[in-house]
A and B are shown apart, each in its own frame.
Chain A
């Protein structure tokens, strides 16, 4: 059980009440900065090529901290989710879909995940990719399991084995190949193991398919985080738990809590910033079924509306 610095008052680390307009200082071209920010932070899922977000109600669970810290982090993630428009499960006995683990042996935990629950590492094509995903290289990291939600509301967890699909088609002489069997009725059966059926509109702008989060794992190594208050960490984790966020290697121009653990950032924010909240709000406002380009444009548009450069 680990004891990280706990704020004297929970209010200390919370950002100011959300406002629709956020003033950004010291940046000449806010529009470009927003475009760069969104470009860096938005990662399309492998299955649909779209941005994922929570559709199911979020239910975080925290392990490895003192009880009061567990309650604090859980509450904070739910608060931020509610603030940005993500669905929240208020039932205390809800089924956890965000697992936040503070552990002194993060790599051992990741090894166990690789061996027992590799799908929790996110979509991967082979064991080499999975092993790479399972490497713990930062003080805090997150792993995203996504699901594809089709036009008819069928939800399929990405990367999980399906029963496959068999298609019966009229036999065309001269064709053929692996997996194709002809029958006496002149039909061919094509077996596609591992395939699944997705209902779509066929439209290019919006095909009726969206990507949702199915599970998010956040792992933190407290020994590398001793200088931070639990409120700061809770805010950082909240951002990771509500968006598929690649951790930047360098300082981002816009003020974001992600700069906290990026290399060489001077005085990074210690709480979620207006930019972070604007990004999350935009993510949960965008059209989930739009294509990736449309989604990015929507997020940029919404953030541009919220952020104003200081004169």
Chain B
């Protein structure tokens, strides 16, 4: 009976891990991942020193798309790998080169034009 009932069962292998396809790929290592490259590839940041502790934090691996969003938001992952913190390299806003265009020195007018450097 047991054999009969178990023969009803068909075992199927389902490709379940569609959400994380990049995990099967090789991982790049960068000291400061900026999220460039294939958004579904994984880039790892080597362990960083945690202030006041002897042992370094963990290696932090994320999809490039995740690193890119962090950088766009001016953020980073903390050295202990747990939290999202402000990017220690400063703001993600690039320095601007601004100058007046049009108008005249005596009358003023014109408009400020800014370009990223």
A114→B9 CA distance, assembly (Å)? 38
Is B58 among interface residues, defined by CB-CB distance under 8 A?
Answer: no
Main DSSP-derived SS at the B contact region = mixed
* Residue B55 CB within 8 A of the other chain: no
Q: Is A92 an interface residue (CB 8 A)?
A: no
Q: Which stretch, B60-68, B88-96, B105-113, touches the partner chain A?
A: B60-68
Q: How far is the CB of B39 from chain A (nearest CB, A)?
A: 5
Let me know if B8 is at the binding interface, CB within 8 A.
yes
Knowing A114-B69, A115-B66, A127-B40 touch, does A192 contact B21 (C-beta < 8 A)? no
In the assembly, what is the distance between CA of A164 and CA of B39, in Å? 23
Q: Nearest Cβ in chain B — how far from A139, in angstroms?
A: 22
Contacts of A124 in B (CB 8 A): 18-19
The answer on a CB contact under 8 Å between B66 and A127 is yes
Partner of A47, one of B10, B16, B63, B64: B16
Flag whether B13 is at the interface (Cβ < 8 A). Answer: yes
Interface size of A by CB at 8 A reads: 41
Q: How far is the CA of A195 from the CA of B17 in the complex (A)?
A: 6
A289 within 8 A of B: no
How many residues from B make CB contacts under 8 Å with A?
A: 27
Chain A residues near B63 (CB-CB < 8 A): 127
Q: Is A63 close to B, CB under 8 A?
A: no
Interface string of A195-206 (1 = CB under 8 A from B): 111111110000
Residues of B within 8 A of A18 (CB): none
Contact of A200 among B9, B23, B73 (CB under 8 A): B9
Q: Are B62 and A115 in contact (CB under 8 A)?
A: yes
List CB contacts (< 8 Å) of B21-76 with chain A.
Answer: 21, 23-24, 39-40, 62-66, 69-70, 73
Please give, as numbers and ranges, the residues of chain A lying within 8 Å of B39 by CB-CB distance.
Answer: 126-128
Q: How far is the CA of A211 from the CA of B81 in the complex (A)?
A: 33
Of B18, B40, B65, B70, the contact of A159 (CB 8 Å cutoff): B18
| B42 CB to nearest A CB, Å | 11
- A126-B40 contact, Cβ under 8 Å, with A114-B69, A159-B19: yes
Interface check B84, CB cutoff 8 A = yes
Answer whether residue A119 sits at the interface, using C-beta atoms and an 8 A cutoff: yes
CA distance A218 to B55 in the complex (A): 38
Which of B12, B19, B23 has a CB less than 8 Å from the CB of A197?
B12
Q: In the complex, how many angstroms separate the beta carbon of A13 from the nearest chain B beta carbon?
A: 37
Q: How far is the CA of A151 from the CA of B15 in the complex (A)?
A: 18
With contacts A115-B62, A115-B69, A115-B84 known, is A125 near B21, CB below 8 A?
yes
| Residue contacts A-B, CB under 8 angstroms, 16 given | A47-B16, A114-B66, A119-B19, A123-B19, A127-B40, A127-B63, A158-B16, A158-B19, A159-B16, A161-B20, A161-B23, A165-B13, A192-B15, A193-B17, A194-B16, A195-B15
Interface residues of A (CB under 8 A from B): 46-47, 108, 111-112, 114-116, 118-119, 123-128, 130-131, 148, 151-152, 156, 158-162, 164-165, 167, 192-202
Which residues of B pack against A, CB within 8 Å? 8-21, 23-24, 39-40, 62-66, 69-70, 73, 84
8 more CB-based (< 8 A) A-B contacts, given A115-B84, A194-B18:
A125-B18, A128-B39, A130-B19, A159-B16, A193-B24, A194-B15, A198-B12, A198-B14
* For the complex of A and B, 3 pairs with smallest distance between CB atoms: A194-B17, A127-B65, A159-B19
